[in-house]
């Protein structure tokens, strides 16, 4: 699982450097992102711009990361291709994961002033 990590203020931005997130990689993905949550990072932006395919198992891994974070923080998603975004819509997970076109918008959504609105 290739990722690239950046810190923007209090937020950890993790860019997934894979083209696919399917059942074969879901466990690895969960473990990889889970490490950050365990290390105390609770504001996470997942940059999924490279992904051209994700299935329900990949989505399940995202759900499990969101649950690990729980009430301690939040996770937003950036850069999903329109195709991948339909997976969120088909499963109504677009109501659960806030998704933004760009990383900076996704980071912005996790900064304190926004929690008032959210």
Element (H, E) at 52: none
Task: Give the contact letters, 71-110, x = binds to other proteins (CB under 8 A), - = no.
Answer: -----------xxx-xx--xx----x--------------
DSSP states along 62-114 = HHHHHHHHGGG-EEEEE---HHHHHHHHHTTGGGTSEEESSHHHHHHTTSHHH
* Binding of residue 17 to other proteins (CB under 8 A): no
Return the number of the residue (14 or 66) whose C-beta is nearest other proteins. 66
Of 118, 106, 115, 117, which Cα lies nearest the Cα of 8?
106
* Binding of residue 23 to other proteins (CB under 8 A): yes
* Binding of residue 20 to other proteins (CB under 8 A): yes
Q: Which residues bind other proteins (CB under 8 A)?
A: 20, 22-24, 53, 55-57, 59-61, 63-64, 66-67, 82-84, 86-87, 90-91, 96
């Amino acid at each position: 699982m290739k990722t690239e990590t950046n810190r923007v203020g209090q937020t950890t931005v993790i860019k997934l450097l894979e083209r696919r997130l399917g059942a074969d990689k879901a466990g690895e993905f969960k473990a990889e992102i889970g490490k950050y949550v365990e290390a105390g990072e609770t504001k996470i932006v997942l940059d999924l711009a490279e992904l051209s395919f994700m299935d329900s198992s990949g989505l399940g891994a995202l759900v499990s990361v969101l649950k690990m974070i729980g009430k301690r923080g939040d996770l937003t998603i950036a850069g999903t291709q329109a195709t991948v975004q339909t997976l969120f819509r088909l499963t109504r997970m677009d109501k659960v994961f806030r998704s933004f076109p760009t990383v900076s918008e996704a980071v912005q959504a996790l900064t304190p002033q926004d929690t008032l609105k959210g």
